């Protein structure tokens, strides 16, 4: 007998039009689609062509009209300011309508771009929904991005209006945004007509006459605006992701397919329903924030959490448990690095006992590979299912997951389980041919991609083909390497450029990290390949130890070297490892392995725009110098 998961998966692959037409009927359409899947202009597939929709209407107005206006839509929890604020669906709808009026008063119309450069405050969510309300295309840039990087996004999107704030707050540090924004506009060839500035009490900004407008003043004077019907294939937003050439790629998300897919995933993948409290501990500047702080939960009628804080330090490693307990969170979605930080500060999980987590049912992890040690720690301490799932900025939602709302499958260590319905995942070799089960290759997705994934790049169809479709014709290149086992479980080992060649042997740095992370004293680790004259490349490891560890680091380093030798073998040539206080990461928690490799290899590199703390790179340079890499410390360019 076919299992519920297998039945849905096979239908989604063999009859995608029929499969996706069912969740589409659960959404509001001003005009129903003419065709579910339009393949007349391959490889530019389009979903729900001919349909007319409005994403804001489906996220807010529809719930109010269906009698759910009283329910909490958004809870803003900010330990850095000591603020908790709740917005009902009616209140959020009215604020979005008024903000849409502000944008309209500045000349914003359907199809115009609005750049949002904001901290984690309610106004960021309101601005996103206001853009969707009038058919404007928003482009959210992580608050605090450097002016040069912000300028490249302004030049590409050419926004008519920029919405920003006077400052952001990072734990105990206030970051003025206005000077960064002013510098970015100065560097940009494309100039916005207006800037709407939220004046935060922690630091007010100087406003320029004729360009800058105060958010509160504009909201007070604005007239609410109704939802504007747009084509299902019209863009909802642009989200920039780093490109290999240094020029960011503007990932486009459409309205119709995105709306259908995101609403469907809330129940199918995360097993949440209208009225449930869902928390994605991310940032609105990242894809997780777009999909699962803002759109997914609101489309489904859930209560979503907007958290302005950290997993540790605001005030301690019990911060997440407080939020879960206080707001009765059912499902949490965060990055493995957040849990490694918590585990590093509170290895025994003692702070969990201080909070009532009775409403908490599931933890989802994504953003980078979940090592088995972190998985086991979370399972043991929280006593709920811990689900690793795999997706990307470009895909918009999970490629592989344990779909709790369809059928809970057995968990396999190191695997995000199986492909989610809609994603035809294959492992290919260099000749574009599928490999045998268990064999490592390039994880790829056969076209067409499901709704909600990127249909193209902003004003760059050729770049879309070059970046994602050219290397493996007929497939989307994920740029991740891995394998699929005999039972269909997917194992994402590393980025394809993290497969290193050691004396002719192709080895996964991710597999080595898995071994290191299994050591009881190791909180976090990274393994990367560096150049070697004899072997081509050799792996180098970095360890961050748990708080309270008193043993000598040198002993632990010897032990993990032996563990790799025992579990992977001498072929790994893993002989060099050092202990560091912390690892350089992006603000979303991804370890900057490529940057570390460039330092070791004496290759010029630029300061990553998304780095959480630039000072950490100096620590890494010192660590590499201790290991004998003469190139370490080369000046950044």
**The domain spanning residue 596 has which CATH number?**
3.30.300.30
Same domain, 456 and 555: no
- Indicate whether 572 belongs to any domain: yes
Please count the other Cβ atoms lying within 10 Å of the Cβ belonging to residue 245: 9
Same domain, 463 and 512: no
- Indicate whether 361 belongs to any domain: no
d(CA 289, CA 363): 16
pLDDT, tens digit, for every residue of 350-360?
999 999 999 99
- Indicate whether 493 belongs to any domain: no
| Phi then psi dihedrals of residue 341, to 5 deg | -65, -45
Q: Whole domain around residue 527: which residue ranges?
A: 503-626
- Token reading at 398: 């999970």
Nearest one of 244, 164, 155, 234 to 191, comparing CA atoms: 155
d(CA 289, CA 304): 11
What pLDDT does 588 receive? 63
What pLDDT does 632 receive? 45
- Indicate whether 284 belongs to any domain: yes
Same domain, 531 and 447: no
Specify the DSSP class assigned to residue 66. I
Same domain, 515 and 454: no
Same domain, 106 and 177: yes
- Indicate whether 367 belongs to any domain: no
- Indicate whether 497 belongs to any domain: no
Nearest one of 235, 238, 273, 227 to 255, comparing CA atoms: 235
CATH number (domain holding residue 109): 3.40.50.12780
- Indicate whether 14 belongs to any domain: yes
What pLDDT does 496 receive? 56
271: left (phi over 0), alpha (psi -120 to 50) or beta: left
What pLDDT does 244 receive? 46
Same domain, 270 and 137: yes
Same domain, 190 and 89: yes
Could you say which residues of the chain have pLDDT below 70?
A: 242-247, 494-506, 533-536, 569, 571, 587-589, 609-610, 612, 630-637
Domain count for the chain: 2
| Residue 205 contacts residue 178 (beta carbons within 8 Å) | yes
d(CA 574, CA 562): 9
Q: At what angle are helices 122-134 and 89-105 packed, to 10 degrees? A: 70
Same domain, 165 and 108: yes
Same domain, 20 and 161: yes
Same domain, 473 and 517: no
Same domain, 468 and 524: no
> Whose structure tokens read 């792996």?
539
Same domain, 478 and 515: no
Please give the radius of gyration of the chain, using alpha carbons only, rounded to the nearest integer: 24
- Indicate whether 283 belongs to any domain: yes
| Residue 337 contacts residue 367 (beta carbons within 8 Å) | yes
* Residue 351 vs residues 316, 319, 354, 549, 618: alpha-carbon distances, Å: 9, 9, 6, 18, 33
């Amino acid at each position: 007998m076919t299992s519920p998961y297998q039945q849905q998966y096979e239908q989604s692959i063999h009859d995608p039009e029929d499969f996706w037409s069912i969740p589409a009927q659960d959404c509001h359409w001003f005009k129903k689609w003419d065709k579910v899947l339009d393949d007349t202009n391959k490889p530019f597939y389009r979903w729900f062509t001919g349909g007319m929709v409005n994403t804001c209407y489906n996220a807010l107005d529809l719930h109010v009209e269906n009698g759910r206006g009283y329910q909490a839509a958004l809870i803003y929890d900010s330990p850095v300011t000591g603020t908790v604020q709740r917005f009902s669906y009616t209140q959020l709808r009215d604020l979005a309508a008024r903000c849409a009026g502000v944008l309209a008063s500045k000349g914003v119309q359907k199809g115009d771009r609005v750049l949002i450069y904001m901290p984690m405050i309610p106004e960021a969510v309101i601005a996103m929904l206001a853009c969707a309300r009038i058919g404007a295309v928003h482009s959210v840039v992580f608050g605090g991005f450097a002016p040069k990087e912000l300028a490249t996004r302004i030049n590409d999107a050419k926004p008519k209006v920029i919405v920003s704030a006077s400052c952001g707050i990072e734990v105990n540090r206030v970051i003025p945004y206005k000077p960064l924004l002013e510098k970015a506009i100065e560097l940009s060839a494309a100039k916005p007509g207006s800037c709407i500035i939220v004046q935060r009490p922690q630091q007010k900004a100087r406003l320029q006459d004729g360009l800058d407008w105060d958010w509160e003043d504009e909201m007070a004077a604005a007239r609410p605006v109704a939802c504007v019907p747009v084509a299902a294939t019209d863009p909802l937003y642009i989200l920039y992701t780093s490109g290999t050439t240094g020029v960011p790629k503007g990932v486009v998300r459409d309205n119709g397919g995105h709306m259908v897919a995101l609403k469907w995933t809330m129940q199918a993948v995360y097993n949440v329903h209208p009225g449930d409290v869902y928390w994605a501990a991310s940032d609105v500047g990242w894809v997780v924030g777009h999909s699962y702080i803002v759109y997914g939960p609101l489309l489904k009628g859930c209560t979503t959490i907007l958290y302005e804080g950290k997993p540790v330090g605001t005030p301690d490693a019990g911060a997440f448990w407080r939020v879960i307990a206080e707001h009765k969170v059912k499902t949490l979605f965060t990055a493995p690095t957040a849990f490694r930080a918590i585990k590093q500060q509170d290895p025994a999980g003692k702070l969990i006992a201080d909070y009532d987590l009775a409403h908490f049912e599931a933890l989802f992890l994504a953003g980078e590979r979940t090592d088995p040690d972190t998985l086991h720690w979370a399972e043991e301490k929280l006593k709920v299912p811990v689900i690793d799932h795999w997706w990307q900025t470009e895909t918009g939602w999970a490629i592989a997951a344990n779909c709790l709302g369809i059928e809970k499958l057995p968990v396999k260590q190191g695997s995000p389980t199986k492909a989610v319905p809609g994603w035809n995942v294959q492992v290919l070799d260099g000749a574009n041919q599928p490999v045998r089960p268990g064999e490592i290759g390039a994880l790829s997705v056969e076209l067409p991609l499901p709704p909600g994934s990127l249909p193209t790049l902003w004003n760059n169809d050729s770049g879309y083909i070059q970046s994602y479709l050219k290397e493996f014709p007929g497939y989307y290149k994920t740029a991740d390497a891995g394998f699929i086992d005999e039972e269909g479980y997917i194992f994402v080992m590393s980025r394809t450029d993290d497969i290193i060649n050691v004396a002719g042997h192709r080895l996964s740095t991710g597999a080595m990290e898995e071994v290191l992370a299994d050591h009881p004293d190791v909180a976090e680790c990274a393994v990367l390949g560096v150049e070697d004259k004899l072997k081509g490349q050799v792996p180098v490891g970095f360890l961050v130890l748990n708080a309270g560890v008193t043993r000598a680091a040198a002993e632990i380093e010897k032990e993990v070297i032996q563990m790799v030798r025992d579990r992977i073998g001498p072929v790994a040539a893993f002989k060099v490892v050092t202990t560091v206080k912390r690892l350089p990461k992006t603000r979303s928690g991804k370890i900057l392995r490529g940057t570390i490799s460039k330092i070791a290899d004496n290759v010029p590199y630029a300061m990553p725009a998304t780095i959480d703390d630039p000072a950490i790179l100096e620590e890494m340079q010192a660590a590499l110098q201790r290991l004998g890499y003469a190139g370490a410390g080369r000046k950044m360019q």
